[in-house]
Every structure is written in structure tokens, then in C-alpha cells.
Structure 1
Amino acid sequence: MLSNHTIQTLRQLKLGAMADAYTRQIEDPNSQNYSFEERFGLLVDHEWTHRENQRQNRLVRTHT
């Protein structure tokens, strides 16, 4: 299936949070109500938030 390939590719690109969010979108029938731009924006926002949280956690660990 194409979505499995996409998820695998996202993980290979080190976009694991985006892959997880995409998997949740596929499993949630309500996500089909959003436009492509909205769904894509949610994926990008999820990846950015995940990376920002990781960065902040790293900073907290480094400075404690």
C-alpha cells in the first residue's frame, strides 16, 4: 500500500513524528474532512513541535 511506503520513507528521512501523525490521520476517519493543506500543515506542525520539545528537553538536561 502506498501509505505504508510513505510512512517507511518518512522514517528513513528521520521524520518519525510526522510518520506517527500521518499514521494517526490514516486511522482517524474524521481527518478526511480536512483539506490537503490542513492535513499537511498538521503533519508539519507535529514534526516541528516534536523537534522543539526534544531540543528544550536536551537544554534542560544539559543545564541541570
Structure 2
Amino acid sequence: MRRPDGHEIPEPYAVFVQDYLTTLRSGTEFTTPQDVADAVWRAVTEPDAPMKTPPARMRSDGFAKRVHP
């Protein structure tokens, strides 16, 4: 199996790689520019903000709770 960038994927891994790429392409979760802006704002305005901030739609504490289409 050859990747679009020209690299060869060894045959024993071809099915795994193909399934994995199909899963990635069909994902419904995504990060929006607003998610990034919210995380940056929180990081610079809240002294106790965590190093990793999940998107607002996935948070349980109500911070900037939004629903994206």
C-alpha cells in the first residue's frame, strides 16, 4: 500500500492503516477556531487553568458552554 505522499506501508499493516485512516476521516468531533480562542483566553486569564483544556462543548463545569452544529 502506498501513501499519498509516496511512502510505502508494509503489507502486514495495510489493513490497520486503512481502517485507522477511515476512522479519522469519518470523525464527528472537531476543534473550531472558537474552541482555540476560548482555551487561549482561559489560559491567560485564569491563574489555575489546566495545561490541557477540552473544548467547551465537552466540559462539565459550564465554562463557555456552547453547542456547535
Higher relative contact order (CA 8 A, sep 6+): 1
Rg larger for = 2
TM-score where L is the length of structure 2: 0.30
TM-score where L is the length of structure 1: 0.32
